Amino acid sequence: MAVELEFKKLTHAADLPLPAYQTNLAAGFDLTSANKAPIELATGQRALIPTGLAMALPAGFEAQVRPRSGLAAKHGVTVLNTPGTIDADYRGEIQVILINHGEEPFIVERGMRIAQMVIAPVVQAIILEVDALPETARGSGGFGSTGR
């Protein structure tokens, strides 16, 4: 299934490429950083990294911002609110909250692939208040209750 995405490059990203899938069957495409100067993330530090892109998602879809496995495995750098959701009615700049869980400072260079984005369908629920919920075998068993 394919959906058309409209991207607008903002002025500070005019020289950067549009997002692209790296392989034919990739679920996500990479987002690159559009910071003017390098951003140093000390251990435990987080920063909002600009991508220089705005987009128009079709109604009924969301964009999920997720970590890149290579940054996480090699440097301990990940997306803080993963997955971050971008709603179909948002038209501002896409930004990525990166955090450094690694043991060394990490430098975010301009044009670096910092995260990936997955486009997913969304179903909006009809919210109802009820006096009782239907019974299930699990019931109200919480964390770890099915592993006993």
Annotated binding site for substrate: 68-70, 81, 85-87
Q: What angle do CA 23, 9, 32 make, to 5 degrees?
A: 45
Which residue ranges are tagged as binding site?
A: 68-70, 81, 85-87
C-alpha span between 136 and 80 (Å, rounded): 34
How many Cβ atoms from other residues are within 10 Å of residue 6's Cβ? 9
135 Cβ contact list (under 8 Å, min separation 6): none
